[in-house]
């Protein structure tokens, strides 16, 4: 046999071995895998290619495909070879618990390319160290101290809305909300303002760049090597393929400069330091003597900063946008909200306070519906329990990734009848489900358990202060905007309406 004969022989053997391996894997996954007996499509038990198809090719559709599986196979389904999905609102508290060790699924943790952040830490013990360090900055008291900063940003938004009113020019309210959320979180985290609220027509916001990163997240999950290769390329090349990344690079380089300065012991070199009395999050985090040095490395802190900033923009901005659409679209809702606000805030220009606004039931109902129907985290959230989990007749082996989806709870007709309807009253007097249990038990939008949202107080404060101010002062009409501009159409972990939506656009018609 000549050389070419040996090569053909070797290739033949390699192909045969590979085929035998694939065949063995398929047989194992179908018949001998610990999850083999669970219901679900056979192809889902064999590989993840259907997930790639639904999420990458069809752009964020796997969440909806999973809903189809549940209609066909029942409340528990094996959705990929090693993961179970459960659609049963009663099980939520069991899966997302603070009791016992709960890890995240490392395969899904790094979708935002910030693998050293609190969000991405799969192991519960590392997560606990990071979370403990961040928690104090987002406590209720700290956010109460931040109220003046939030109010000043809301005032700026109000000023711009008033300018639009004077010229009767339509504008994108959703862009305004994204700019607001971005300016607040940057100010608090770094005492840095990119001043997106002052950009012309709110043209520059972090929403689009983070959305672009989030869209590419589906591909990064399937092929983790892709972001590693991409981000090793020169930034100028990447910006050519996706110009929106330019803003993220600018953010990353500003954060790097600030963190480096803070690590050197210098005060942050800010572009605009407006609230000196309020120390910024990263300044304090770096000075925290309890945080181990390994947690204070530049790259680690950069990941943390990018994650916290990213998590605080689209979630809040989109919830504000979805709720505003429904309030403006339904005059009876707007009238009732306005009445409540006029009674509570007799002078539209008086200073408002989060603690007073929280006592207003109709405003609270509007905010809860805004968050519920904005589905701020649209993807499933897998968890790994240290012990076997029991669901009905099934015993799920310990450390199996098990996920549920917030969208499913928010759309559960037994809990939220006519779930698609924006109905603030469902949260009033005392809210109950049809079986008489408290509706608050099914309030899962900030997640439950040890990995629940860090920014919950900040989010509430922003939503209360913004809605109270904007709807106390102005009347709007929708401009070339309909239901399809706020309906969940794509799940990129962050929620997205139809891809050609221009956002929630309005004309401001009146100022109180
Ligand atoms: C309406 C607003 C918001 C909603 C509904 C929301 C919802 C959530 C949810 C569901 C999670 C858990 C995700 C998972 O299970 O993997 C989460 C985590 C997180 N959120 Fe929020 N969020 C909001 C606003 C914010 C804001 C303003 C911040 C800014 C600080 C923030 C920071 C975070 C962080 C850092 C995590 C990761 C926590 C951890 O892993 O321990 N969120 N959020």
Per-residue pLDDT tens over the stretch 126-145: 999 999 999 999 999 999 99
Query: Residue 399: what pLDDT?
Result: 95
Per-residue model confidence as pLDDT tens digits over 77-110: 999 999 999 999 999 999 998 888 889 998 887 7
Q: Ligand 1 centroid to 42 CA: how many Å? A: 34
Indicate the number of domains in the chain.
1
Q: What domain range is 291 assigned to?
A: 128-382+456-511
Q: Ligand 1 centroid to 309 CA: how many Å? A: 10
Residue 468 lies in a domain: yes
Residue 408 lies in a domain: no
Residue 267 lies in a domain: yes
Residue 367 lies in a domain: yes
Per-residue model confidence as pLDDT tens digits over 256-284: 888 888 888 755 444 444 445 567 899 88
Which residue reads 């509570």 in tokens?
344
The answer, yes or no, to whether residue 357 has pLDDT greater than 80, is yes
- Residue 285 Cβ contacting ligand 1 at under 6 Å: no
Mean pLDDT, residues 176-194 taken together: 93
Task: State the Cα–Cα distance between residues 384 and 106, nearest whole angstrom.
Answer: 10
- Residue 382 Cβ contacting ligand 1 at under 6 Å: no
Residue 171 lies in a domain: yes
Q: 10 Å Cβ neighbour count for 368?
A: 22
The answer, yes or no, to whether residue 58 has pLDDT greater than 80, is yes
pLDDT confidence of 157, banded at 50, 70, 90? very high
Query: Residue 209: what pLDDT?
Result: 86
Q: Where are the alpha helices (DSSP H) in 273-330?
A: 281-287, 298-311, 314-329
Mean pLDDT, residues 176-191 taken together: 95
Residue 106 lies in a domain: no
Nearest to 28 by CA among 15, 14, 48, 47: 47
Query: Residue 28: what pLDDT?
Result: 97
Pairing of strands 490-492, 494-496: antiparallel
Higher pLDDT, 33 or 229: 33
Query: Residue 276: what pLDDT?
Result: 53
Substitution site in 315, 466, 495 for ligand 1 pocket (most atoms within 8 Å of beta carbon) = 315
- Residue 367 Cβ contacting ligand 1 at under 6 Å: no
Question: CA torsion angle for 160, 161, 165, 169 (degrees, to 10)?
Answer: 80
Which residue reads 């969000």 in tokens?
119
What is the token pair recorded at 253? 């380089």
- Residue 451 Cβ contacting ligand 1 at under 6 Å: yes
Query: Residue 36: what pLDDT?
Result: 97
Residue 59 lies in a domain: no
Query: Residue 267: what pLDDT?
Result: 52
Mean pLDDT, residues 498-505 taken together: 96
Q: Ligand 1 centroid to 89 CA: how many Å? A: 20
Per-residue model confidence as pLDDT tens digits over 292-333: 999 999 999 999 999 999 999 999 999 999 999 999 999 999
- The CA-CA-CA angle for residues 464, 356, 452, to 5°, reads 50
Q: Ligand 1 centroid to 445 CA: how many Å? A: 9
- H/E stretch holding 344 reads helix 331-344
DSSP structure string for 52-71: HIIIIITTS-HHHHHHHHHH
Residue 443 lies in a domain: no
Mean predicted lDDT score pLDDT of the chain = 92
- Residue 316 Cβ contacting ligand 1 at under 6 Å: yes
Q: Ligand 1 centroid to 312 CA: how many Å? A: 7
Q: Ligand 1 centroid to 393 CA: how many Å? A: 33
The CATH code of the domain that includes 471 is 1.10.630.10
The answer, yes or no, to whether residue 118 has pLDDT greater than 90, is yes
| Range of 13-22, 154-163, 247-256 with top mean pLDDT | 154-163
Answer whether 113's CB lies under 8 Å from 227's CB. yes
Mean pLDDT, residues 177-185 taken together: 97
Task: State the Cα–Cα distance between residues 491 and 403, nearest whole angstrom.
Answer: 15
């Amino acid at each position: 046999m000549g050389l070419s004969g040996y090569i053909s022989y070797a290739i033949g053997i390699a192909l045969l071995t590979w085929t035998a391996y694939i065949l063995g894997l398929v047989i194992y996954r179908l018949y001998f895998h610990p999850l083999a007996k669970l219901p679900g499509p056979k192809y889902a038990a064999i590989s993840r290619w259907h997930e790639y198809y639904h999420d990458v090719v069809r752009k964020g559709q796997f969440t909806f495909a999973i809903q189809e599986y549940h209609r066909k196979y029942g409340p528990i389904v094996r959705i990929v070879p090693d993961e179970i999905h459960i659609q049963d609102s009663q099980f939520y508290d069991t899966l997302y618990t603070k009791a016992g060790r709960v890890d995240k699924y490392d395969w899904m943790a790094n979708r935002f390319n910030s693998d050293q952040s609190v969000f991405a830490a799969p192991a519960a013990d590392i997560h606990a160290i990071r979370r403990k360090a961040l928690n104090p900055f987002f406590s209720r008291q700290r956010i109460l101290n931040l109220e003046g900063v939030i109010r000043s940003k809301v005032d700026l938004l109000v000023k711009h809305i008033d300018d639009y009113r004077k010229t009767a020019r339509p504008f994108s309210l959703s862009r305004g909300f994204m700019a607001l959320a971005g300016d607040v979180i940057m100010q608090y985290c770094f005492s840095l303002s990119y001043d997106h609220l002052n950009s012309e027509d709110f043209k520059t916001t972090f929403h689009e760049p983070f959305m672009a990163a989030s869209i590419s997240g589906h591909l990064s999950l399937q092929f983790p090597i892709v972001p590693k290769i991409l981000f090793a390329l020169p930034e100028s090349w990447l910006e050519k393929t996706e110009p929106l990344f330019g803003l993220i690079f600018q953010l990353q380089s500003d954060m790097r400069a600030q963190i480096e300065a803070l690590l050197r012991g210098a005060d942050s070199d800010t572009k605009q330091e407006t609230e000196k009395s309020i120390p910024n999050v990263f300044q304090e985090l770096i000075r925290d003597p309890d945080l181990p040095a390994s947690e204070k490395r530049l790259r680690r802190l950069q990941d943390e900063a990018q994650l916290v900033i990213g998590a605080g923009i689209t979630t809040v901005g989109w919830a504000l946008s979805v709720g505003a659409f429904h309030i403006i679209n339904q005059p009876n809702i707007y009238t009732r909200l306005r009445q409540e606000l006029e009674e509570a805030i007799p002078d539209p220009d008086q200073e408002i306070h989060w603690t007073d606004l929280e006592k207003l039931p109709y405003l609270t109902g509007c905010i809860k519906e805004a968050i519920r129907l904005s589905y701020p985290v649209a993807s499933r959230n897998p968890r790994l329990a240290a012990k076997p989990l029991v669901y009905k007749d099934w015993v799920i082996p310990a450390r199996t990734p098990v996920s549920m989806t917030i969208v499913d709870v928010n759309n559960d007709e037994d809990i939220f009848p006519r779930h698609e309807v924006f109905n603030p009253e469902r949260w009033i007097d005392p809210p109950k489900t049809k079986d008489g249990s408290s509706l608050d038990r099914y309030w899962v939008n900030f997640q439950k358990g040890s990995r629940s949202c860090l920014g919950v107080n900040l989010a509430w404060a922003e939503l209360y202060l913004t809605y109270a101010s904007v709807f106390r002062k102005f009347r709007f009409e929708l401009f070339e905007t309909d239901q399809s501009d706020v309906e969940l159409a794509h799940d990129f972990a962050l929620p997205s309406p139809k891809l050609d939506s221009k956002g929630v656009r309005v004309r401001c018609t009146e100022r109180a």
